Amino acid sequence: MKTYIVGNWKMNLSVGESSIYLQKLLKRIKLAKGLEVAIAPSTIALQSLSVQLERSKSKIKLCAQNFYQKDYGAYTGEVSVMQLRGIVNYSIVGHSERRYIFGETNKDLRQKVAAAIRNNITPILCVGETENERSYGETKDVLRDEIFGALSEIDADDVKKVIIAYEPVWAISSTKDAKIASPDDIADSVKLIRSELKEIYGKEVSEEVPILYGGSVNPNNAGAYLTIPGVNGLLIGGSSLISDHFVDIIEIAKRVKS
């Protein structure tokens, strides 16, 4: 299975700044077999970065941060997943900031997952519990509800086309009073996720779905996270905005994989 390193730039960097940053990456990183690197800039930068990557013949992939679940229609201000076809390979779906700031529901997310699959874009489905849910022992229930709430409109074959990112809300660096998740914490939750997938979709699906970890990832802890059994990569926020840190994490992933 591939190792995935995905940088989520969130609402940062102008189009020009995004291009300069990408140029730095192109000069500094050399991808290895079995390692997939993707960056998720703001939507307005996707088209120009796509052209930049095509010209450079780089194997770095583009990832959207969000999209609207309808292919077309009277939805002023939205960008559909169909409009992203040919530009991105991946899209983040259900990030906690979309859930808790913008009120996205499991109904919205199941439509988005199905729309991404329909348009040959791999959804990176984010799931994870809050600090309160964790303290009350509700992690398993939350993960089950978020996973199956988002996957209920696709069949088992299409579930294999999904990537799941475990991002405990309490460990995301942009969250107030964020904590650092221990490898044991993450290992337990990844086991839960695979167990739930196995129960509904069978062993084959549970073993084939890549699971990433995201939450305050940096060069100091990336190696430990990548060696957790069942973790197939990282979804990186703040550290992906610092080129030195992002390059360091990519190099760490290459060493761990080898």
Give me the tens of pLDDT residue by residue for the chain, a chain 258 residues long. 899 999 999 999 999 999 999 999 999 998 899 999 999 999 999 999 999 999 999 999 999 999 999 999 999 999 999 999 999 999 999 999 999 999 999 999 999 999 999 999 999 999 999 999 999 999 999 999 999 999 999 999 999 999 999 999 988 766 656 688 899 999 999 999 999 999 999 999 999 999 999 999 999 999 999 999 999 999 999 999 999 999 999 999 999 987
CA distance 128 to 120: 25
Residue 28: domain span: 3-257
CA distance 61 to 87: 9
pLDDT in the model for residue 177: 66
Strands 163-166 and 122-127: parallel
CA distance 28 to 57: 15
CA distance 235 to 244: 16
Cβ neighbours of 219 (radius 10 Å): 17
By annotation, the residues acting in catalysis are: 95, 167
- Give the chain's domain count: 1
Cβ atoms of residues 183 and 24 within 8 Å? no
pLDDT in the model for residue 172: 77
pLDDT in the model for residue 156: 94
pLDDT in the model for residue 80: 97
Backbone phi and psi for residue 7, each to the nearest 5 degrees, phi listed first? -100, 120
pLDDT in the model for residue 170: 87
Indicate which CATH number applies to the domain containing 176.
3.20.20.70
| pTM given for the model | 0.96
Cβ atoms of residues 150 and 110 within 8 Å? yes
CB contact burial 172-195 (16+ within 10 A = b; e otherwise): beebeebeebebebbbebbebbbe
